[in-house]
Chain A
Amino acid sequence: GAVVSQHPSWVICKSGTSVKIECRSLDFQATTMFWYRQFPKQSLMLMATSNEGSKATYEQGVEKDKFLINHASLTLSTLTVTSAHPEDSSFYICSAVAGGPETQYFGPGTRLLVL
C-alpha cells in the first residue's frame, strides 16, 4: 500500500523556538494533505488542509500565523510550529490523499514536546 512518512518522529524543543515537521508521500503524488493534532487520550483534531500550489485552509480556531503550512510539491507538505509553547506539545499527524476518500493514507505521527 501507499506510504506516508513524517520527519522527525519526535522532537523536543525550547519554548519560543520554531519546529518544522515534514510529511511525505513516498510512492504516490498527493494534491491534498491534511494536518491533525492529537492530545493524549483524545481524538484527532483536523488543523488544516494543505493543497499543492495554493494556500492552506485552516479549521476554525487554528492560528494560521502560528502553524505555517507549505505544500511545495506533490509529495511534500511541511508544518512549522512557530514560537512554540508548552501548550503546543502534542502528537501531530498528517495524511495524504491519492484519489478519492478511500485513498487517504496517514503518516506515523510526530510527537512534539516543548519545554
Chain B
Amino acid sequence: SQQGEEDPQALSIQEGENATMNCSYKTSINNLQWYRQNSGRGLVHLILIRSNEREKHSGRLRVTLDTSKKSSSLLITASRAADTASYFCATEEGNNRLAFGKGNQVVVIP
C-alpha cells in the first residue's frame, strides 16, 4: 500500500538555498526513511528515523518526525546542483516492507 504522501511535488531552488519537503502517512509505523532517486536510476538511502525519534541529522540533511500528526519533513541545507533528484519518503510497515510516497522532484539551479 502507498501511504506516504509528499507535499509539494516539485521544487525549484537556487544553489545555496535550503529545500524542504514534507511527507504524511496514515497508519502506525516502525520507522520512516527518505530516499533519493536520480533520473532513471535506483534508490539511494538517505536517512532513517525511528518512531520514537523526533529529529535526526546527517550532514546537510535534517529530518523531523511528528507521530501525532503522522508527518515528516526533510530539509536539505545549502543545496547543490548535485542534489537535483526525486526524493521519496517510505514507511516501514513491518517485515521490512516499505510503502513509498509520491515523491518530490527537486531541481537545484546553479
Q: Indicate if A43 sits at the interface (CB-CB under 8 A).
A: yes
Binds B, one of A71-79, A81-89, A101-109: A101-109
Q: Closest chain B residue to A60 by CB distance?
A: B1
- CB distance A43 to B48 under 8 Å? no
Residues of chain B with a CB closer than 8 A to A45's CB: 2, 100
Majority SS at the chain A contact face = strand
CB contact list, A27-66 vs B, under 8 A? 32, 34, 36, 42-46, 49, 59
Check if A111 sits within 8 Å of B2, measured CB to CB: no
Instruction: Tell me, in angstroms, the Cα distance from A44 to B1 when the chains sit together.
Output: 10
| Interface size, chain B (Cβ < 8 Å) | 24
Q: How many A-B residue pairs have CB under 8 A?
A: 57
Task: Check B110 for interface membership: any CB of A closer than 8 A.
Answer: no
In the bound assembly, the distance between CA atoms of A44 and B98 in angstroms comes to 10
In whole Å, how far is B42's beta carbon from the nearest beta carbon of chain A? 4
Using Cβ atoms and an 8 Å threshold, which residues of chain A touch B30? 101
Mark out the residues of chain B between 53 and 107 whose CB falls within 8 Å of any chain A CB in the assembled complex.
88, 92, 95-103
Query: Given A43-B2, A43-B88, A101-B48: A93 and B43 within 8 A (CB)?
Result: yes
Q: Does B45 count as interface, using CB distance less than 8 angstroms?
A: yes
Interface string of A1-30 (1 = CB under 8 A from B): 000001000000000000000000000000
Residue of B nearest to A36 (CB): B100
Contact of A101 among B42, B88, B96, B102 (CB under 8 A): B96
CA distance A104 to B44 in the complex (A): 10
**B31 beta carbon closer than 8 Å to chain A:** yes
Query: Which of A49, A105, A106 sits near B97, CB closer than 8 Å?
Result: A49
- Tell me whether A104 and B41 are in contact (CB under 8 A): no
Contact call B95/A108, Cβ cutoff below 8 A: no
A108 contact from B33, B42, B45, Cβ within 8 A: B42
Complex: chain A residue closest to B102, CB-CB: A43
A105 to B33, CA, bound (A): 12
6 contacts between A and B (CB under 8 A): A6-B42, A34-B97, A43-B102, A106-B43, A107-B42, A109-B40
